């Protein structure tokens, strides 16, 4: 960022901002960025393409002097040099913790004050060990001003097989599905695997397995291919997703009665609303694709992204590029240099287009 001449700041939880300041710095910025922390033992393209791609897009714009907008912001979540200190909370506690905080989640602020990891280390202590001397009350300072951005665009691998399968180099995201995650706990009685007869067994493992099949059943009955359920339930239609959750809850109650176990907990951990890409950003992305003679596909994102939360404070859009066999969250994750170059050019031209509006 400094090599590109950007002014750089870092907030209380490790978000890094590089700002390209022009003559009217008080105006809202055209922004881009992604995250560099991902799940353990996964690939190296998820998020990182949108971080390094953002820097390269700025470099492109500077070399070609395409950007007339007075300020451009690049946001990077959890720099790699400090990732061991605090990033474990990003997925252990709450998906996309940093962008959720930036978008003004007061609930998350309260929760982080009492959050510990699986080694009983608190979030505040972990942040302190990573070099962030923060007081829990400082977390509110991470919130972004709703007037700070004119638009936000995120470049990302698709994390699915559609673009590669159809031979299309660019996906323009129209909506982002959001998951609802549930914690379910059954309680029963243990017993010897052979000595306790079947009529007297209260096996919670079988109750849990039956509920997992019930999740699949209710998702398939939703009537839409956009409803997905594995360890959570996701959809771009919030009501349809929540209807599935209600059916899952009823199934959990029925299973507990039939199997003679106690449903001791059914708790919704997370139930974010889906997000729609802004029409102005979609139009700018389509303009960029046509200018670059790149075929594109309008598509929804079925994966969770930082853009889901940035949509709460800014007009938002996403650019997808293909990834090998749709692999993600595994070491085989891969995007070709050609596809990444297409994505960077798309991002640069989209930002330039938005800067002139």
> Which residue range forms the structural domain that includes residue 129?
7-176+274-355
Do residues 111 and 199 both lie within one domain?
Answer: no
Beta-carbon contacts of 188 under 8 Å, excluding residues fewer than 6 positions away, are 202, 203, 204, 207, 259, 260, 261, 262
| Boundary (domain end) residue, out of 271, 289, 306 | 271
Write out pLDDT tens, residues 28-71. 788 898 887 667 778 899 989 998 999 999 888 888 765 444 44
Do residues 72 and 159 both lie within one domain?
Answer: yes
Q: What pLDDT sits at residue 71?
A: 46
Do residues 213 and 288 both lie within one domain?
Answer: no
- E-strand ranges in the chain read 7-10, 16-21, 29-35, 71-77, 149-157, 170-176, 178-187, 228-229, 233-235, 262-271, 275-276, 296-301, 316-321
Q: The domain that contains 62 carries what CATH number?
A: 3.40.630.10
pTM of the model as a whole: 0.86
Write out pLDDT tens, residues 74-93. 444 433 333 333 445 544 34
Q: Which two tokens stand for residue 275?
A: 């997000």
Confirm if 177 and 226 have CB atoms less than 8 A apart: yes
Enumerate the H helices of 134-237 as residue ranges: 162-166, 204-220
Q: Pick from 160, 155, 159: which is nearest to 172 by CA?
A: 155
Q: The domain that contains 256 carries what CATH number?
A: 3.30.70.360
Confirm if 307 and 275 have CB atoms less than 8 A apart: yes
Write out pLDDT tens, residues 272-322. 899 999 999 999 999 999 999 999 999 999 988 989 989 998 999 999 999
Which residue is listed with tokens 């994750």?
333
Write out pLDDT tens, residues 332-347. 999 999 999 999 999 9
Q: What percent of the chain has pLDDT over 90?
A: 49
Do residues 47 and 58 both lie within one domain?
Answer: yes
Do residues 259 and 287 both lie within one domain?
Answer: no
Q: What is the Cα–Cα distance from 343 to 289, expressed in whole angstroms?
A: 10
Q: Which two tokens stand for residue 64?
A: 């070609």
Task: Give the neighbor-by-neighbor strand order of the sheet with 228-229.
Answer: 228-229, 233-235, 178-187, 262-271
Which residue is listed with tokens 């061991």?
84
Q: What is the Cα–Cα distance from 153 to 348, expressed in whole angstroms?
A: 10
């Amino acid at each position: 960022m400094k090599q590109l001449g950007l002014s750089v700041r870092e907030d209380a939880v490790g978000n890094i901002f590089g700002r390209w300041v022009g003559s009217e710095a008080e105006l809202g910025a055209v922004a881009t960025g992604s995250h560099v922390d991902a799940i353990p033992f996964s690939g190296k393209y998820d998020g990182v393409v949108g971080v390094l791609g953002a820097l390269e897009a700025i470099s492109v714009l500077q070399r070609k002097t395409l950007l007339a907008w007075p300020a451009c912001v690049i946001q990077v979540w959890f720099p790699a040099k400090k990732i061991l200190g605090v990033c474990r909370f990003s997925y252990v506690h709450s998906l996309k913790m940093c962008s959720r905080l930036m978008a003004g989640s007061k609930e998350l602020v309260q929760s982080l004050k009492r959050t510990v990891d699986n080694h009983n280390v608190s979030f505040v202590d972990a942040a302190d060990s990573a070099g962030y001397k923060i007081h829990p009350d400082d977390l509110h300072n991470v919130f972004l001003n709703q007037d700070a951005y004119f638009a936000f665009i995120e470049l990302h691998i698709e994390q699915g097989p559609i673009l590669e399968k159809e031979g299309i180099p660019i996906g323009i995201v129209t909506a982002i599905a959001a998951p609802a995650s549930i914690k379910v706990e059954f309680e029963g009685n243990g017993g010897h695997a052979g000595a306790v007869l079947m009529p007297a067994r209260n096996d919670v493992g079988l109750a849990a397995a039956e509920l997992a099949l019930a999740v699949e059943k209710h998702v398939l009955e939703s009537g839409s291919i956009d409803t997905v359920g594995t360890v959570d339930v996701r959809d771009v239609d919030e009501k349809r997703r929540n209807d599935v959750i209600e059916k899952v809850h009823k199934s959990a109650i029925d299973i507990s009665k039939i199997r003679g176990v106690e449903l001791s907990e059914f708790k919704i951990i997370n139930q974010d609303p889906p997000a729609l890409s802004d029409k102005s950003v979609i139009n700018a992305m389509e303009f960029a694709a046509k200018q670059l003679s790149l075929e594109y596909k309008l598509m929804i994102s079925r994966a969770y992204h930082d853009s889901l939360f940035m949509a709460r404070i800014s007009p938002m859009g996403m650019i997808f590029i293909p990834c090998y066999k749709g692999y993600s969250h595994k070491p085989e994750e891969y995007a070709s240099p050609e596809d990444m170059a297409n994505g960077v050019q798309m991002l640069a031209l989209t930002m330039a287009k938005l800067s002139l509006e």
